[in-house]
Chain A
Amino acid sequence: MILLDHVTKIYPGDKKPALDDVSLHIEPNEFVFLVGKSGAGKSTLMKMITKEENPDAGKIIIGGIDLDYIKRRHIPHYRRRLGVVFQDFKLLPRRTVYENVAFALEIAGMSTRDIKHTVPKVLELVDLLDQAHKFPSQLSGGQQQRVSIARSVARQPKILIADEPTGNLDKLTRKEIITLLQKINDFGTTVLVTTHDEAIVNNLDKRVVTLKNGRIVADQKTHGIYKLDGDPEDFKPKPKEPRNAQKLRH
């Protein structure tokens, strides 16, 4: 579904590459965490996928489309196939929750009747149907992020990429958002989430790809423990807990 083949990106004026010979293959329906410290190259990688940036070397193929061959006029069509979620939500402040979600469908040319049918369903999925007529400024951070997720999944994309979706949220809301992303993954969408939140990564049994200084230093397909400041060696299988350990903790 997502294939990066020896991708390198050096921003003009920088000596060190933002991405250095990165190769990554994500299968359909996978849920992948992309982790690393600030400046590790996570956002650059996301920008490559959304075609905001082009690699200096290497190849990127997303959903059967080689991004090298995409012309400028094709980019909007390509992006409509992706769901994108941002740390700062990027909602349209002058539009209501309903209008924000409907916007993603309107630009794709969906009829008003279909939009009226789809938007309530999507808002129900993110549990915001009763907030449909509010403006983003009237919502909490968690609710805004759920609107952002609703907007990104309204077109039923095959791929959802979320750049630090929990970065601005409290602990409880973070958990809600990740649960929601898991739910979307269960419907068959490939989900790629960048984060540097150890707790989130360690609580889920998902694939974790670690970037450091623009290189992939670990690709842990089984459940491991991730430490933000740690080296790849820190990804060690979780020791099996004694059966009654949980009971003992309580």
Chain B
Amino acid sequence: MRKNSATKKITRQNLKTLTKNGRTKRLRSTRRVFKYGAVNFGRNIWLSTAATLVMTITLVVLSITLVATVVLGETATAMRDKIDITLFFKPGTGKETLEVLSEVMQNDSNVKSIETRTSEEEYANFLEENKDNSLLIETLEDPTMDMRATMISTMQATMRLKVYDTENLDSIKNIVASDINFVKNLDETEEPTYNVNQSEIATITRWSKIATTGGIVLSVVFIVISVLVIFNTIRMATFSRREEIYMMKLVGADSFFIRGPFIVEAQLSGVVSGIFASIISYFGFRFLEPRLLRYGINVSTISDILDSNKLILVILAIILVGVLIGTISARLAVQKYLRNAAK
């Protein structure tokens, strides 16, 4: 027993010296790991190409999904903002009455904003909209014809509403139909415009939802496929090099030194894929941009990003995702052989 504790003590002292003398300088090791990773990337060019290709496809799909989600979402919002519900009141309805009506309508939680115009204001707006039509303006403003008073006396006062949820207008309709102030002042000759462009909004909203949920699903599927393919690619590489890993362990290489180059190799694939995916996505978007605009799709947010300094951040983010996918795949792939080789 005494002998055992003595050997334990000596062993501890020797191990201390051993680890102290043999402690590798982390920075130096890291530099070498990067060097060998880069060299391996070049020497295993076919394997690197395969991994890079799969990762590029994944990153492009991811970029398309993100762009589609943003573009369709923005388009739906823009269209919703363009749409208002217009209520028409009898000509001559005064400012005070309109304020009372506004207060009533404001109580509805679906109402985002209210804009009212008296008949005079509607007339002024009409002139403004037609300012380029000089003949019309001259005729209307001709003092001998007194067209102004005629126009104002026939033009309805209006209330324009913007709402949060265009699909649920029942509460607003209910106010219009049952509130005494509305019933009394509404112009019966013109119905409120509830359903303008409603079907278009519904379509764009549906596409937006499909783009968001479908995009997320598609991205996750592609990321999983990408991780699996890269995992298997690297696993095949480690399998064919398991003897090397075994030898490395036997000559005293630690896990960091063995695993490191494999991870760096995969990370390099990630960087190259990120750059390729950025180029493909950028030019792909620039190519499609005028066509999308022609269909009235709002691409301004993405265009603004691509035209600004934020483009660098986007490219870096895509590269980072590539590096992350590579790191996770390589780590999982090497782990098994690292555990089994030479214990």
Contacts and interface: CB of A to CB of B under 8 A. Distances in A.
Contact of A84 (B24, B32, B243, B251): B251
B14 interface: yes
Interface stretch (A19-27, A68-76, A123-131, A184-192): A68-76
Contacts of A78: 15, 18, 252
Interface in B227-266: 243-244, 246-254, 257
Nearest to A71: B15
A66 interface: yes
Given A76-B253, A79-B251, A111 B19 contact: no
B248 to A, nearest CB: 7
A66 B12 CA distance: 9
B15 A50 contact: no
Contact of B24 (A52, A108, A151): A108
A64 interface: yes
Interface in A135-183: 151-152
Count class of interface residues, chain A: 35 or more
A221 interface: no
Contacts of A74: 15, 18-19
B246 A77 contact: no
Nearest to B251: A104
A106 B254 CA distance: 11
B244 A80 contact: no
Contacts, number: 96
A59 B244 CA distance: 30
B64 to A, nearest CB: 38
A109 B24 contact: yes
A152 to B, nearest CB: 8
A70 B257 CA distance: 20
B28 A109 contact: yes
A13 B252 CA distance: 30
Contact of B12 (A51, A69, A92, A106): A69
Contacts of B12: 69
A79 B342 CA distance: 11
A3 to B, nearest CB: 10
A151 B251 contact: yes
A247 interface: no
A139 B169 CA distance: 85
B254 A76 contact: yes
Interface in A101-126: 103-104, 106-109, 111
A86 B250 CA distance: 11
B23 A109 contact: yes
B7 interface: yes
Given A66-B10, A94-B43, A77 B343 contact: no
A50 B342 contact: yes
Contacts of B19: 74, 77
B29 A109 contact: yes
A90 interface: yes
A52 B11 contact: no
Interface in A77-96: 77-82, 84, 86, 90-94
- Smallest CB-CB A-B distances: 3 pairs: A109-B24, A80-B252, A79-B252
21 contacts: A52-B250, A65-B18, A66-B7, A69-B11, A69-B12, A75-B343, A76-B253, A77-B22, A77-B23, A78-B15, A79-B252, A80-B251, A80-B252, A81-B18, A90-B243, A90-B250, A92-B244, A92-B247, A103-B251, A107-B251, A108-B22
Interface of A: 50-53, 59, 61, 63-66, 69-70, 74-82, 84, 86, 90-94, 103-104, 106-109, 111, 151-152
